[in-house]
Structure 1
């Protein structure tokens, strides 16, 4: 016989007000709660026996809690034990089993009986770690325990949003028996997550949370005590100074404490900086400068004492190529890992813990070829969405501002675009849709309706956001949505930009409107979650996979709730990315997939194939929806890039790492320095490197001491340092530009190019570049060259080369003999041929990767 404990209220009882005073604490509330027990299968069965006559079908009754009445040791407890715990806590019992209590207080009483712990109404969360969270704790703890050396060990969790980094970090703290944890972040908005996870979960009872608002005397008392303490601080506040130029009083204890571990949260390391900045609203440029600095934070920069360092990244897809972390110092958890775990969960292990995490799908619509004239960007031979939705300010007043308005430069084409979103095609558009089923459009297709009820439209700038708001307000269909602009100086930064969006969602619900549309050009794209968003419309052009997917994953947050009877309702099983520049977007998807493969040690094709199994992409051809396969995605990503653009990639700044740490490592090797001085392309590194390192360290120190600000002279020095970096980078790019020559002249095309250089064709390499093999090996070990981007460049070069051979005889299958070498690894000829766009499609293959692949939605001016 299984005993269950339950709690409920009903009409009348739920509106009774009460108050109580325990010690010096006065508490008021509304609603009485009945706490009982039953041997029935569910509480609902027992409550029906009690109230079925007065409340048919239990209408008007709210079941608040229903769970097994079992202690942790397996023994049963009764409702009398729970009643006693409530009364002992000072909670009044006006009659029978009814209590003047909150649901959290009832949960706390049950928890205290179940575990034998003290009553704590603030701690009601009791969920366990998911398998990947446990793995992160195990791997990290093992690394920290085995580490020996002069410097404190460090570890990186490269985990996507919704991994639960705060909760897992606290469990690592428990595992390591740490009692002093310092959390530093450039994103103050994450403070609530760190505080709530610590103070609400039963696993961390007895722990204390301290921040800048904690009275100094109380904070010092806690840090001098024995109980575990978590101190939260932002870099902005920590770097600031008091009026007399000293450390702020509430931060003094941070500098005086020997920390068990310092956690650096929500920081996007060096190479990610430029991409991250594209996610910021232009009005937040100063914030972008501060939150995405030139160099990643190091232990030396902090000037604090800690025995361990844990770095947390909210961008799981970015490459770890800066050499700061070795493979055994990184734990990865990406979207593919998450969805793979969801799909492969064994029911024997209980309920799938990943059910709440939505799957993602992308739908790509190609706007008219004529649109290319608006903003041809060259690199991908595609038009620019940011230009397509370009807007400017005009003198006429707007009903929203009364002082001025923004209008689109191509108002008619934007009007037609809005009609297209609803599937209302003009005659010119209909010409392109052949006989057959019309493609599904975002605001027409019934299956999309739940997701687009609350969506975010990602625009290029503030002007386009306001211009779109006015156009939606005038539109007979979209005016039925509550539209909110999260852009510009009038909107708060970080989490402060979220309340207006939540208010718009609430208004849409209360007034029974069609839904809500948030217009943003950067705000709410990092560090903030709006659970109701089910779709994002990409109405701007982004050039980096990091920035693209950081924005896309904003809508992949879970939205579900569990009722008192443990029934889980999932409100968002699938979320959507609606893309209108497929050439660019699919190139970024291929880039993302290739990077994921780098982490897992698989070929680009295998990696992209698995990504597409969990993130299906649909394009349109002949009026029918068409799901793209790996070959077709690579078709968009590579064959569409012209030879000129491919050549330009060998002069890309992304191929070299010019940062303080890499330069310092090179300068520290005196023999290498002497050798490099003999090669013209490296002389800039020799002559200017020390100046860049010294200046960078000085500027970082100045920022710390001056509250993140630089004076005019220092800003000029910062510009000069950036110029020197650029000069060094350009010289190194000149060296790498010789690699394609070497690719053509070597006979060992099946080997990884680095292996060819170092072992098989060394004399040729030294002749072409002037650099010895030993020195080249050293530069690779020091991570001067970005291996990931070099692999991608060579892969695309090989594919373009192979496709050129195929083009010479379109009906003949061409397959390389043996393996195909990339930069530091090889793939088989068969795998390569499968990856070459259009291979094995023979005469059916279209010469242009962009023709006949999607429904071309003609939107005339």
Structure 2
């Protein structure tokens, strides 16, 4: 022990409580006790630390009350006293334990003491408390013992029931958790393993950056005592010993690693055991079933192209492709829309937990039950600002003259040959325009912008860096730019700006910013610098880094300064700011740092179109909600405010649908019906097609499909062969002739898709001429107007039914396309001053569902609420 110093006598002893009296356990330190260094050796473990901690108990409401009684004379107002822990001293069986129980546990670990003062770290004390509370053996890393939230308990119960009921099936059962970020998938997966008495669990992911979460949850929570964690860093000898032992284990690996091969084409030595083990369950994490691979790659920094290809590959990887043996498969994803709509999983094999579910649970929580477990999960709000008529000049080619943020903030390198990122190396095409935009963010408009944005109105809306409502959230924000050039050009403008130069500006773009999870520490360093130097806050500029898989808890706002085309990619990036940020107080309560977070959008038409599409997709995983109902549910917890014409209006679901659909021109609508997302052409659908001989014969009577069978067989055979080669040689190691074959196969696949798109392009004609508007189009085709369908498209009803059955048509996108078509059609009647009767109660058919005609987006009476 460290000696030679005189410390205050804490004095007053408490009266021994009755056995049923509520007690609290606490830990604190004081000046003089917090500085001495110590070290100890127990067995072969050597531990060093700084500072001694006092471990005590009290029957008072809080530890502070008791500590004030002890120390207030020596430390008035407890100045300098650091209360490290204050929580109930209650076992899991409801009985109360004492500080002496904790003391005994600490001493048993060889930890030196001086009465109630211990040479121990706070984590060691927490581990001792957990051991006493749970009645388990002491493990220095097991400092957590929180219970499951209600939805996590539901997920475990439903999934365990499904796996148990299907244990005897000929094929191993598969279950999907459609769970948003912050559901707690790792912790809940481990609880499922306990419930199922699994001993061997293999976790596979495309994103190795999530490894820390899987490891820490297993090794830090008391519920998983005795479990072992194996990963790439574990030696082959240790891994083999653990697999052959009796203790349960989790083996974490990446798809890239387990599907790769060594130089001689054999399985990598450290993966051999994986192939030889009979797994109780294989967990496929962050697995989106190819649902939005191309869009997902938009979320990566352009300089991280190789990482994007690895983490968002083109080909699906299924259980059959892996070649492993498992009794159960659990799939985890936050955006599995395609898997759901394509029937990859039956309804009883899916557990859904969305942002809407989370926020509803937060709102409904009964305080009488205890502390709200959702209290630190912030609500999101969107503020959308129209940039004015002058902004429409900045359109991207091929975007039908629509405003494009990426073009608005386009930048370039001054010297194309230079690789420097020094100030002045990158400039905006129109720096004056961007400088005016920065002034707009502060509510300081030039006369030209005032006319463009406010028009004749003198009313003023809240701007991000002007309104007190946003002040806390924008302290630390991320600005999502289009590319590396715009990030560095924006950095230079911000650092030279008299206001924004007060922020710590960090560029999370380019190869020097770190790849994947490696980019996070640099952002955290910038945030710490801002805090230590008392700067206004921090602004992180990114064009993809940290937009997937990694979150920064301090971010309270995201500025969307690029145009995204997929609702999945849009919300994947927007949800980066929805991560919790709170501190546990000594009394057990949470000090929440983020109650509300903000998405600042500057292309309302595109953004609200994505919100509408996202809401429609949420409807596919709900209880048969209509698009307007699903969007309304979303907006109940994601309020959207639009600044237009000098007013800030809160929108409702009808407004969003109206903006999302009436903003669609005829040419854009036609392009929608020639979109590749409407059809599914892949190894799975083509294999199913080849199994339908009669269908193939029927299709080949149509000129466009004359050689369909041969084309489909070529794709299936080539894809299967090349996937096997890549499994043996590793990704990216194809021979020149194999690369040529892959390119040819993709070309054939594209031809088949284009042929199917030509067929779908005739669907609007059929919708226009058929008399049946109130029925789902699929039903109209199959039973109500079959002859007309065959005359218009050349396809028989039987052939259509088979194509639909094998999943060629993407129902989710078909619903959205038909919705847009009929909204445009209805709006056209209004524009033409044709009399349209009251629509309430009248049904309109989409692809495989119907909605009330009043829900079609059109120019109608708005119920927006002004908030200016």
Matching residue of 1:240: 260
Matching residue of 2:6: none
CA distance change for structure 1 residues 344 and 365 in 2, over 3 Å: closer, same or farther?
same
Matching residue of 2:354: 334
Matching residue of 2:806: 782
What's the secondary structure of 1:367's corresponding residue?
A: coil
1:577 Cα deviation (Å)?
A: 0.6
After superposition, where does 1:47-86 map in structure 2 within 5 Å?
Answer: 47-86=67-106
Matching residue of 2:47: 27
Matching residue of 1:364: 384
What's the secondary structure of 1:490's corresponding residue?
A: helix
CA distance change for structure 1 residues 237 and 812 in 2, over 3 Å: closer, same or farther?
closer
Conserved? CA contact 2:829–2:836, under 8 Å: no
- Separation (CA, whole Å) in 1 of partners of 2:359 and 2:397: 35
Matching residue of 2:134: 115
After superposition, where does 1:549-560 map in structure 2 within 5 Å?
Answer: 549-560=571-582
CA distance change for structure 1 residues 711 and 487 in 2, over 3 Å: closer, same or farther?
farther
TM-score, length-scaled by structure 1: 0.94
Matching residue of 2:730: 707
What's the secondary structure of 2:138's corresponding residue?
A: coil
2:227 equivalent to 1:227: no
CA distance change for structure 1 residues 747 and 622 in 2, over 3 Å: closer, same or farther?
closer
1:172 Cα deviation (Å)?
A: 1.1
1:236 Cα deviation (Å)?
A: 2.0
Deviations 1:176-207 (Å, cap 9, x if unpaired)? 11110001111010000000000001110000
- Separation (CA, whole Å) in 1 of partners of 2:86 and 2:427: 56
CA distance change for structure 1 residues 511 and 639 in 2, over 3 Å: closer, same or farther?
same
Matching residue of 2:175: 155
- Separation (CA, whole Å) in 2 of partners of 1:793 and 1:550: 23
CA distance change for structure 1 residues 839 and 684 in 2, over 3 Å: closer, same or farther?
farther
The counterpart of 1:716, out of the listed 725, 736, 740, is 740
- Separation (CA, whole Å) in 2 of partners of 1:617 and 1:253: 52
Matching residue of 1:287: 307
- Separation (CA, whole Å) in 1 of partners of 2:840 and 2:81: 71
Matching residue of 1:143: 162
2:543 equivalent to 1:518: no
1:622 Cα deviation (Å)?
A: 4.5
The counterpart of 2:490, out of the listed 461, 464, 468, is 468
Matching residue of 2:635: 612
1:426 Cα deviation (Å)?
A: 0.5
Conserved? CA contact 1:451–1:575, under 8 Å: yes
- Separation (CA, whole Å) in 2 of partners of 1:447 and 1:684: 63
- Separation (CA, whole Å) in 2 of partners of 1:681 and 1:610: 43
- Separation (CA, whole Å) in 2 of partners of 1:476 and 1:297: 52
Matching residue of 2:676: 653
1:802 Cα deviation (Å)?
A: 1.1
The counterpart of 1:791, out of the listed 783, 808, 815, is 815
CA distance change for structure 1 residues 615 and 497 in 2, over 3 Å: closer, same or farther?
same
2:63 equivalent to 1:46: no
CA distance change for structure 1 residues 667 and 400 in 2, over 3 Å: closer, same or farther?
closer
2:756 equivalent to 1:732: yes
2:151 equivalent to 1:127: no
Matching residue of 2:439: 419
CA distance change for structure 1 residues 75 and 705 in 2, over 3 Å: closer, same or farther?
same
Matching residue of 2:120: 101
Conserved? CA contact 1:465–1:521, under 8 Å: yes
The counterpart of 1:429, out of the listed 449, 456, 467, is 449
What's the secondary structure of 1:455's corresponding residue?
A: strand
1:403 Cα deviation (Å)?
A: 9.3
Deviations 1:462-485 (Å, cap 9, x if unpaired)? 111111111112111111111111
1:327 Cα deviation (Å)?
A: 2.4
CA distance change for structure 1 residues 798 and 808 in 2, over 3 Å: closer, same or farther?
same
1:768 Cα deviation (Å)?
A: 2.3
1:814 Cα deviation (Å)?
A: 4.6
Conserved? CA contact 1:322–1:657, under 8 Å: no
Matching residue of 1:820: 844
After superposition, where does 1:406-805 map in structure 2 within 5 Å?
Answer: 406-431=426-451, 432-433=453-454, 434-600=456-622, 601-709=624-732, 710-805=734-829
2:237 equivalent to 1:217: yes
- Separation (CA, whole Å) in 2 of partners of 1:165 and 1:742: 45
Matching residue of 2:107: 87
- Separation (CA, whole Å) in 2 of partners of 1:537 and 1:493: 22
Deviations 1:186-241 (Å, cap 9, x if unpaired)? 10100000000000011100000001111211111110011111001112222333
Greater CA drift, 263-272 or 719-728? 263-272
CA distance change for structure 1 residues 5 and 201 in 2, over 3 Å: closer, same or farther?
same
Matching residue of 2:854: 833
- Separation (CA, whole Å) in 2 of partners of 1:441 and 1:20: 57
CA distance change for structure 1 residues 719 and 243 in 2, over 3 Å: closer, same or farther?
closer
- Separation (CA, whole Å) in 1 of partners of 2:398 and 2:96: 71
1:734 Cα deviation (Å)?
A: 1.0
1:425 Cα deviation (Å)?
A: 0.7
1:667 Cα deviation (Å)?
A: 0.8
2:327 equivalent to 1:313: no
RMSD: 2.2
Conserved? CA contact 2:822–2:856, under 8 Å: no
- Separation (CA, whole Å) in 2 of partners of 1:241 and 1:82: 51
Conserved? CA contact 1:397–1:404, under 8 Å: no
1:349 Cα deviation (Å)?
A: 2.7
Greater CA drift, 402-411 or 227-236? 402-411
- Separation (CA, whole Å) in 1 of partners of 2:86 and 2:261: 53
Conserved? CA contact 1:279–1:522, under 8 Å: yes
CA distance change for structure 1 residues 579 and 4 in 2, over 3 Å: closer, same or farther?
same
- Separation (CA, whole Å) in 2 of partners of 1:87 and 1:725: 69
What's the secondary structure of 1:13's corresponding residue?
A: coil
Greater CA drift, 34-43 or 655-664? 34-43
2:324 equivalent to 1:301: no
- Structure 2 unaligned segments of length 5 or more: list them: 1-20
Matching residue of 1:859: none
- Structure 1 unaligned segments of length 5 or more: list them: 846-851, 856-861
CA distance change for structure 1 residues 678 and 291 in 2, over 3 Å: closer, same or farther?
same
Matching residue of 1:849: none
1:707 Cα deviation (Å)?
A: 2.3
2:35 equivalent to 1:11: no
- Separation (CA, whole Å) in 2 of partners of 1:100 and 1:764: 85
CA distance change for structure 1 residues 853 and 11 in 2, over 3 Å: closer, same or farther?
closer
CA distance change for structure 1 residues 381 and 320 in 2, over 3 Å: closer, same or farther?
farther
1:818 Cα deviation (Å)?
A: 3.0
Conserved? CA contact 1:16–1:32, under 8 Å: yes
CA distance change for structure 1 residues 817 and 124 in 2, over 3 Å: closer, same or farther?
closer
